[in-house]
């Protein structure tokens, strides 16, 4: 199959955008909750906007005040929950950390769940990666 002149131009333009970084932006969110909650807290990070693809490469969370029963690092992809990592009974200040690579489409998002926390706990989370404009 031979490519048309129009298809070749489109491929060259797309490659140029990727190589020059025109359509790639750093994505990062930081969450801090110093109020804590009784028993559990869920942080849903922002949904991937229309016209973009979000690539997640790192998520980390911790409770610096006490030791929760669990910390779950998850993501919603097409309405399905995927659990990326679970820290069972992490110590006070111990980070639950996930490094890897997954892609979120429009409306998908990452989330962190702390279980077994107490009121007044200081909860922190960070997520990073990059977004690509379609």
Q: Is residue 117 part of a domain?
A: yes
How high does pLDDT run on average in the chain? Answer: 90
Is residue 9 domain-resident? no
Domain hosting residue 115, numbered range: 23-133
Count of the separate structural domains present in the chain: 1
For residue 71, the surrounding DSSP H or E stretch is strand 70-77
- Let me know if residue 8 belongs to a domain: no
Residues composing the chain: 134
CATH value at residue 99: 2.60.120.260
**Residue 4 falls within a domain, yes or no?**
no
Residues 78-88 pLDDT 10s: 889 999 999 99
**The overall pTM is greater than 0.95:** no
Distance CA 46, CA 21 (A): 23
Q: From residue 28, how far is each of 33, 46, 110 by CA, in Å?
A: 17, 10, 12
Any domain includes 38: yes
Mean pLDDT of 71-76: 97
| Residue 17 reports pLDDT greater than 80 | no
Does a structural domain hold residue 104? Answer: yes
- Do the domain assignments include residue 82? yes
Q: Is the distance from CB of 83 to CB of 58 less than 8 angstroms?
A: no
Q: Per the domain annotation, does 125 fall within a domain?
A: yes
């Amino acid at each position: 199959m031979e490519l048309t002149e129009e298809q070749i131009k489109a491929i060259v333009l797309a490659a140029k955008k990727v190589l020059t970084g025109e359509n790639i932006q750093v994505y990062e969110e930081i969450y801090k909750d110093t109020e804590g909650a009784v028993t559990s807290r869920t942080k849903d990070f922002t949904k991937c906007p229309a016209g973009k693809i979000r690539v997640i490469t790192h998520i980390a969370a911790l409770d610096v005040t006490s030791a929760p029963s669990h910390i779950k690092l998850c993501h919603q992809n097409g309405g399905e929950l995927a659990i990326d990592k679970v820290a069972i009974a992490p110590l006070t200040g111990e980070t639950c950390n996930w490094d890897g690579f997954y892609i979120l489409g429009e409306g998908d998002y990452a989330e962190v769940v702390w279980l077994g926390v107490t009121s007044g706990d200081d909860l922190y989370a960070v997520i990073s990666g990059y977004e690509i404009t379609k």
